[in-house]
Amino acid sequence: MSARLPLVLRQLGRPPRTPGLPRHLRAPCRASSGGGGGGVPEGLRGQGRLQNGQAWSSSGPGSPAPSARDSIVREVIHNSKEVLSLLQEKNPTFKPVLAIIQAGDDNLMQEINQNLAEEAGLNITHICLPPDSGENEIINEILKINEDTRVHGLALQISEDSFSNKVLNALKPEKDVDGVTDINLGKLVRGDAHECFVSPVARATIELTEKSGVSLDGKKVLVIGAHGSLEAALQCLFQRRGSLTMSSPWKTSQLESKLQEADIVVLGSPKPEEIPPEWIQPGTTVLHCFHDFLSGKLRGGSPWVHGSGLIAEGDVSLLAAALRIQNMVSSGRRWLREQQHRRWQLHCLKLQPLSPVPSDIEISRGQTPKAVAVLAKEIGLLADEIETYGKSKAKVRLSLLERLKDQADGKYVIVAGITPTPLGEGKSTVTIGLVQALTAHMNVNSFACLRQPSQGPTFGVKGGAAGGGYAQVIPMEEFNLHLTGDIHAITAANNLLAAAIDTRILHENTQTDKALYNRLVPLVNGVREFSEIQLARLKKLGINKTDPSALTEEEVSKFARLNIDPSTITWQRVVDTNDRFLRKITIGQASTEKGCSRQAQFDIAVASEIMAVLALTDSLADMKERLGRMVVASDKNGQPVTAEDLGVTGALTVLMKDAIKPNLMQTLEGTPVFVHAGPFANIAHGNSSVLADKIALKLVGEEGFVVTEAGFGADIGMEKFFNIKCRASGLVPNAVVLVATVRALKMHGGGPSVTAGVPLKKEYTEENIQLVADGCCNLQKQIQIAQLFGVPVVVALNVFKTDTRAEIDLVCELARRAGAFDAVPCYHWSLGGKGSVDLAQAVREAANKNSHFQFLYDVQLPIVEKIRTIAQTVYGAKDIELSPEAQSKIDRYTQQGFGNLPICMAKTHLSLSHQPEKKGVPRDFILPISDVRASIGAGFIYPLVGTMSTMPGLPTRPCFYDIDLDTETEQVKGLF
C-alpha cells in the first residue's frame, strides 16, 4: 500500500487504514458506461478500489515544513466545512457533489480527492474513462454533467493533450471549479476574481511560495512548460503580487539564461532529460505544479536541483485538491443563492401601441417573442426543468416543486367577473394586462396562469382565448391550436376508458367464467401470472392469493366479472368539437357486438373528468390515484365500478404523463404565462391547474404575484375556485379581481339582447347612464358573492372605446359603495401593461391586507344541503327542485360513500339563475336540478341545472368561416 496515503490521512487528522485491506470508496472510479453506488447522483456512480501508488516524497530545502504545509490544507478544509455547515443549517438536504472526469486509473489522486471531500462534507464521484479516450468521449461526459442539477462542480483529470479548447469550453463556467474555461479566465484577467473560479493549482503555487517565506514583490518568475489556462492563471496571479513573470517552453535556446535570471521557477510539466541540472542557480525556489494523471505519479524532489528551495509537486497537488474543495463550496453557495427568491432580471419586450388598435392577430404577429429557453432562464428555471416545443413554448417538469419546496409562496390573486354577455367581458385580457403591468412596468415578479382553450369555442363562437389587443399571450395561433397536445391526450385517455367499459360488458356477456378468466390471466411461456393491477383488484375483493391457479370457482367468477349495469354508465365518449348531433347516440349496432347496443352520448373533451383530474392533481402519483378511482358505472349490486377495476389506470397515466406538465408561454411584453388545463366553467369547475399555480407561486417568490383566472362570473368560476380548487390545493387566495364592462352592465340594466356575430345596438355604443346604473345590481351581487369568502375585491372595469367618462366614473363609484376595496378603469387592450398600472397598484394593496378566507359550506353536509346552500347564498334562489333521477343519483352516491365531496354546479353562465334570459339579479326562483353525476377521481359531485348541455353546438355561422391558412407563408388567418 502506498506510503503516501497514510500521510494524507494523517494530515487531515484521520487514522490511516490498515495496509493490505482494500477500502471501497463511496464514489469510486467507473467506466463511462455507468454503474451503481450510494451517496451520489445515480448515473454518476461506479465500483472500484485503490491500487498501490508511489512513495510520498519529502520536501526540499525552502519548502514549508510538513507541519506548516499540513496546517494550510487543514485550514482550507476546515473553513470549507464551516461554510458548508452554515449553508446546510438553512438547507438541511443540501450536499454539493463534485464530479471528476478522469482518463485513466489515477487511484492515488482519486483517494486524495475522496478523503478531502469527505472531510469537508461533500459528495464526490469519479467518472473513469479509458486513457486513450478521444475528445468526443470526454465532451459527451461533460455535457451530461453540465445538465445534471445534482452536480455543482466538475473537474478534469485528463492528459495534457486532451485539454483542447473544445473540451475546456464544453464545461459550464458555473461548474468549472478548476477555472479552465475562457469565461473564468477572462474574469480573472479582468480583475473580477471574486466572480469566477481561479485555478486551484495556480493558487496553491502562490500560497505555498508565500508560506515558505519567499516574498514575491519584485521577484523574477519563470514558468516553464506550462500551457493554456494554467500558464495564464500563474502569470496573472504572480503579476498581481508584483512579480515580473516570464514564460518559456522547455525547448528554447534561451532557457539557460532565463533560468539563471529567475528567482522562482515554476515547472508546468516534467523536465526533459537533456536539460542539465547546472542551469539553475543555487537558492532558486522551484515549484512542481504538474501531475501525471495517466500514471498516477506524484513527482517529488527534482534531481537536477542542487541547494535550491524546492517545493515538491506533492505539496502543490494536495493543497490544490483542498482549494478545489473550497471552490466547490463556493459553487454550491452560488447555486443556493440562485435558487432563493430574487427579482427577475427579465428582458421585457417593448410595445408600440397603434391607434386605431389593429386586430389581435396583427398585434400578435407584430411582436417577436423571446426564445422560451431564454424566458425560462430569466425566471429561474434550470435547463433540465423544461422541455421545449419549438421556439415559443415549453413544458415545465414537476421536479421544480421539490427543488423549491422551501421557498415562500407569492401572493395569490383570482380574476373572476360579473355575469357576462355572450361575447365575454375580457377576464383573460385583464389577467394578462395585470401581469404585464406588474412585471414590465412595476418590476414585480408575476405570473399569469390561464386555461387552455378548447377547439370547440375556437372554431365555434369565440375564435380564441389568448386575450386581446395589447394584452395577449403570444404566439396566439399556438396558444389556440393544439398547444402541446394536452387536450388530445385527454381525449385519447377518455375514449380508451369508454372503449374498455363496453368491451368488458361484451366479453362478460358472451363468455363463461372459465373462458373469461383464462383470457384475463393468460398462460405466457408456460407461466400464468397476475399483473400488478389485477393483484390490486384481488386485494380489493378480499382475496389474498397471488397464484392464479389457487382461486376457487367462486373467486374466479368474483374476480373476472364486473357485472356492470349498462343503465348506470356515466362515462361518455368525448371529442373537442362542438357537435350537437352527438348529444344522444346509439352505440353497438354492428352485428359483431352481438346485441350489446345502448344509448349513449358524446361530451366536449374539456368536460371529461380526466380534464378535471388534470386541473386538480398535485403530482404524478396523485394523478394516477385519481384516475384509478374514477367511477364509470355501478354494478348490478349497486356498487361503484372504477377505472382501476377495469385495469386501465396505468394506461391512462401513460397517456397523461406529459399532459401533467404545465405549458410555459409569454405575454406580448415578454412576461411569463402558464397555460395548463381547460375545464369549462359552466360544465366543469372552470379553473386552470393547481400545479401551474403552485409552481408559479414558488417561481415569483414571496414578494411576487400569481394571477389565475376563473371562468365566467363569480357565481360560477370563482365559487368553484374557492370551494373546489382551494380545497384540493390548500392554497389561500389574497385578493379577487372582479372584471366588469359597461356593455354587460347595460345589458343587465335592461338593454337589448347581445348576440355573437350581430352588431351591437346603439344603447351599447352611446352613453346611457340610466342603463349603467340599473345594471350595477349584478356587479353589486357579484361583489357580495366574493365577500362571502372573506377575500378583498378589486373591480377592474375593462374599458371599451365607446365608454364615456361619466359611465366609467359611475361604475367605479357604485362598486366602492358596494364594498369593493377599490375600482379601477383599465386600458390594457389599447395600451398594454401601461394601461393597467393603476389596477396593479390597487391589487398589490388589496393583497397585502389580511385575508379572512373561508369556505362557503362544510363538505360533511348532505349533498342536497350543499346544493341548496350554493343556490340560495350564491345565486339568490328561493329553493331547489330535484328531479326523480337527480334524487336517485344522490341517494346512490351517498350510499356508495361519496356524500362528503364538494359540489360543482353545471349551470348557464349567462344568468345568476338557470335561465339565460334572466339578467340583472333574478329573485325568488326555484333552481331545478335535472341530474347529478359524480366525478370521484376529480373529487366532486356534479349537479346539472335545468337543461344544461355537456356538448355545445355550432351556431349558424361558426368562426371557422373566417379561419384559413396562407399556403405560401403558412400563417394562420382569421383567429381573433
pLDDT band at 310 (very low <50, low <70, confident <90, very high): low
Residue 668, classed as helix, strand or coil, is coil
- Is there a contact between 788 and 873 (Cβ–Cβ < 8 Å)? yes
pTM for this structure? Answer: 0.80
Burial of 928 (0-12, 13-18, 19+ CB in 10 A): middle
pLDDT of res. 546: 94
- Given a cut of 90, whether residue 338 has pLDDT beyond it is no
Burial 701-726 (b: 16+ CB within 10 A, else e): beebbbbbbbbbbbbbbbbbbbbbbb
User: Cell digits for 821?
Assistant: 376595496
Mean pLDDT of 243-249: 92
Give the DSSP letter string of 163-199. --HHHHTTS-GGGBTT--SHHHHHHHHHT-GGGSPPP
Which of 8-17, 78-87, 243-252, 946-955 is least confident? 8-17
Which of 70-84, 91-105, 554-568 is least confident? 91-105
Mean pLDDT of 824-843: 98
Chain centre to alpha carbon of residue 137: 31
- Is there a contact between 431 and 448 (Cβ–Cβ < 8 Å)? yes
* Mean pLDDT across the chain: 87
Burial of 146 (0-12, 13-18, 19+ CB in 10 A): middle
pLDDT of res. 21: 29
Q: From CA 422, how far away is CA 744, in angstroms rounded?
A: 9
Rg of the chain (C-alpha set): 36
- Given a cut of 50, whether residue 435 has pLDDT beyond it is yes
pLDDT of res. 97: 92
Backbone angles phi, psi at 345, to 5 degrees: -95, 70
pLDDT of res. 462: 57
Q: From CA 885, how far away is CA 903, in angstroms rounded?
A: 17
pLDDT of res. 44: 40
Residue 543, classed as helix, strand or coil, is coil
| Cis check: omega of the bond before 272, within 30 degrees of 0 | no
Residue 246, classed as helix, strand or coil, is strand
Strand ranges inside 614-767, DSSP E: 631-634, 640-642, 663-667, 672-675, 705-709, 735-740
- Given a cut of 70, whether residue 24 has pLDDT beyond it is no
Residue 155, classed as helix, strand or coil, is strand
- Given a cut of 60, whether residue 660 has pLDDT beyond it is yes
Q: From CA 296, how far away is CA 318, in angstroms rounded?
A: 13
pLDDT of res. 3: 39
pLDDT band at 69 (very low <50, low <70, confident <90, very high): low
- Given a cut of 80, whether residue 954 has pLDDT beyond it is no
- Give the rounded percent of residues in the chain with a pLDDT score beyond 90: 64
Kindly report, residue by residue over 845-895, the tens digit of the pLDDT. Answer: 999 998 899 999 999 999 999 999 999 999 999 999 999 999 999 999 999
Give the residue with greater pLDDT, 193 vs 286. 286
Please name every residue paired with 954 in a beta bridge, in sequence order, or none if there are none.
none
pLDDT of res. 910: 92
Which of 101-110, 356-365, 573-582, 717-726 is least confident? 101-110
Quick one: which H or E segment has residue 48?
A: none
pLDDT band at 801 (very low <50, low <70, confident <90, very high): very high
Q: From CA 844, how far away is CA 497, in angstroms rounded?
A: 45
User: Cell digits for 458?
Assistant: 375556437
User: Cell digits for 843?
Assistant: 391589487
Q: From CA 832, how far away is CA 737, in angstroms rounded?
A: 18
* Strand 285-288 to 264-267 pairing: parallel
How would you list the strands of the sheet with 220-224, edge to edge? 244-248, 220-224, 264-267, 285-288, 309-311
Burial of 442 (0-12, 13-18, 19+ CB in 10 A): middle
Helix residue ranges, H only, 549-629: 553-560, 609-616, 620-628
pLDDT of res. 744: 97
Q: From CA 560, how far away is CA 519, in angstroms rounded?
A: 10
User: Cell digits for 832?
Assistant: 398594454
Which of 331-345, 390-404, 659-673 is least confident? 331-345
- Given a cut of 90, whether residue 413 has pLDDT beyond it is yes
pLDDT of res. 959: 67
Mean pLDDT of 826-839: 97
Kindly report, residue by residue over 567-600, the tens digit of the pLDDT. Answer: 999 999 999 988 889 999 999 999 998 888 999 9
Taking alpha carbons only, the member of 464, 451, 520, 536 closest to residue 490 is 451
Burial 362-376 (b: 16+ CB within 10 A, else e): ebbbebebbebeebb
Mean pLDDT of 629-654: 96
Domains, the chain, ordered by start: 69-293+306-335 (3.40.50.720), 360-483+662-848 (3.40.50.300), 487-656 (3.30.1510.10), 863-945 (3.10.410.10)
Dmax (CA) of the chain: 112
pLDDT of res. 341: 65
Mean pLDDT of 682-698: 93
Give the residue with greater pLDDT, 752 vs 277. 752
Please name every residue paired with 603 in a beta bridge, in sequence order, or none if there are none.
574
pLDDT of res. 318: 87
Q: From CA 793, how far away is CA 455, in angstroms rounded?
A: 32
pLDDT of res. 285: 86
Residue carrying the nine cell digits 486513450? 132
Q: From CA 874, how far away is CA 15, in angstroms rounded?
A: 74
Q: From CA 450, how far away is CA 438, in angstroms rounded?
A: 17
- Given a cut of 60, whether residue 606 has pLDDT beyond it is yes
Cα separations in angstroms, 146 against 142, 173, 396? 6, 10, 19
Q: From CA 295, how far away is CA 302, in angstroms rounded?
A: 18
- Given a cut of 50, whether residue 306 has pLDDT beyond it is no
pLDDT band at 756 (very low <50, low <70, confident <90, very high): confident
- Given a cut of 90, whether residue 510 has pLDDT beyond it is yes
- Given a cut of 70, whether residue 10 has pLDDT beyond it is no
pLDDT of res. 40: 45
- Give the rounded percent of residues in the chain with a pLDDT score beyond 70: 89
Mean pLDDT of 89-99: 87
Contacts of 571 (CB under 8 A, 6+ apart): 494, 497, 498, 501, 609, 630, 632, 633
* Strand 285-288 to 309-311 pairing: parallel
Q: From CA 840, how far away is CA 827, in angstroms rounded?
A: 12
| Cis check: omega of the bond before 475, within 30 degrees of 0 | yes
HSE-CB of 85 using CA atoms within 13 angstroms: 8
User: Cell digits for 617?
Assistant: 392533481
Say what angle helices 4-11 and 66-90 make with each other, to 10 degrees.
60
Cα separations in angstroms, 328 against 97, 122, 126, 257, 511? 8, 9, 15, 41, 67
| Residue 677, phi-psi category: left (phi > 0), alpha (psi -120 to 50), beta (remainder) | left
Residues known to be catalytic: 427, 429, 451, 462, 681, 712, 800, 829
pLDDT of res. 684: 83
- Given a cut of 50, whether residue 22 has pLDDT beyond it is no
Which of 57-71, 200-214, 816-830, 855-869 is least confident? 57-71
- Is there a contact between 793 and 818 (Cβ–Cβ < 8 Å)? no
Kindly report, residue by residue over 520-564, the tens digit of the pLDDT. Answer: 999 999 899 999 999 999 999 999 999 999 999 999 999 999 999
Give the residue with greater pLDDT, 504 vs 47. 504
